[in-house]
């Protein structure tokens, strides 16, 4: 599931896995190998930071890939500032908390 999420995030930004690995300084083919070998938390954090997503998104199997990738694609195509991004993340957390209370 981790690799599927990374692939969806990369695809949403029209980025190949090979280019992603080059951008991050990760050995070619590493990400796809993560289907059978755990990458370690430092690599997961590196990917999360690159895509501006929480580590929990990458490792949580309950979160929907398609919806998150669509949102991230919209964010990456727009001129959002870090402040805008932080506001969006706070709102998402608010909605999650509101949903849990029901």
The pTM of this model reads 0.63
What's the pLDDT at 46? Answer: 95
What's the pLDDT at 62? Answer: 64
How many structural domains are present in the chain?
1
- Provide, rounded to the nearest whole percent, the portion of the chain with pLDDT above 70: 80
**Could you give the count of Cα atoms lying within 13 Å of 62 in the half-sphere of its Cβ?**
1
Identify the CATH number of the domain in which residue 27 sits.
1.10.260
Whether 25 has a pLDDT exceeding 90, the answer reads yes
What's the pLDDT at 24? Answer: 96
Q: How far apart are CA 88 and CA 90, in angstroms?
A: 5
Quick one: DSSP state of residue 102?
A: -
Q: How far apart are CA 9 and CA 61, in angstroms?
A: 15
Nearest CA to 76 out of 48, 52, 102, 92 is that of 52
What's the pLDDT at 69? Answer: 62
Tens of pLDDT along 54-83? 888 888 776 665 566 666 666 665 666 778
Residue-range definition of the domain harbouring residue 33: 2-101
What's the pLDDT at 30? Answer: 96
């Amino acid at each position: 599931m981790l690799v599927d999420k990374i692939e969806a995030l990369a695809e949403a930004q029209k980025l190949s896995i090979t280019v992603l690995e080059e951008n991050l300084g990760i050995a070619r083919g590493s990400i796809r190998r993560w289907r059978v070998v755990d990458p370690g938390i430092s690599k997961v954090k590196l990917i999360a930071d690159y895509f501006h997503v929480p580590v929990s998104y990458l490792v949580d199997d309950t979160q929907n890939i398609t919806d998150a990738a669509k949102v991230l694609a919209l964010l990456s195509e727009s001129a959002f500032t870090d402040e805008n991004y932080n506001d969006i993340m706070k709102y998402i957390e608010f909605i999650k908390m509101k949903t849990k209370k029901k």
